[in-house]
Amino acid sequence: MFRVLVTRAARVSAPTNRNALVSFSRYAHSLQFATVEAEEVSGSRPAEVSNLVQGKWVGSSNCNTIVDPLNGDSFIKVAEVDEAGIQPFVESLSSCPKHGLHNPFKAPERYLMLGDVTTKAAHMLSLPKVSDFFTRLIQRVSPKSYQQAQGEVYVTQNHWFGPAGDPRGAGIGTPEAIKLVWSCHREIIYDIGPVPEHWEIPPST
């Protein structure tokens, strides 16, 4: 899993109207999760991409570089994992049980907790300052207009609302499932008791 928190420089993607410009300058220093400022990302001050293993962000002495599409400088360093450093990742994967860490029956508290996490992620992406941050991040590494990049952020926000709620497999797209998704409602349903004698397996469709 990778983390890169960089955004496009203000002179490149700042909004053109006055109100948006004021909002843009206010957003620049208000995000607690940002590890770099947009104006500082350059060949002389590159951003760094770390790996997540066993709950910690770790770097590497072996890095790949991403070239700045504006001037050709190497402006992002990506931590690579070679054969010598892969063991912590293998151990982390091996420690995960086959039924997963968020199994709704064996670890219901983690299942519900993960719903809360995805709910917060979805709502965070709906905030203008957060949406703007990731929109300019996309623009910084790909030739997209602001509206195109913003559309990607919007789609991602909608995606996170999906696992935040708990639509039933047979009801996706129904009014009830949509209500569950957007309200971020989650619950665990247990089937208790023997199957009635008259019950038959329905034919497959």
pTM for this entry: 0.64
Task: Identify the H or E element spanning 64.
Answer: strand 63-67
User: How many other C-beta atoms can be found within 10 angstroms of the C-beta atom of residue 198?
Assistant: 5
pLDDT in tens, 164-177: 665 444 455 566 66
Name, in order, each residue with C-beta under 8 angstroms of 77's C-beta and a sequence gap of 6 or more: 46, 47, 48, 49, 63, 64, 65
Residue 126 burial (10 A CB sphere; 0-12, 13-18, 19+): middle
pLDDT in tens, 105-160: 888 888 888 888 888 888 899 899 999 999 988 888 888 899 999 999 998 887 88
Q: List the domain boundaries for the chain.
A: 34-95, 100-204
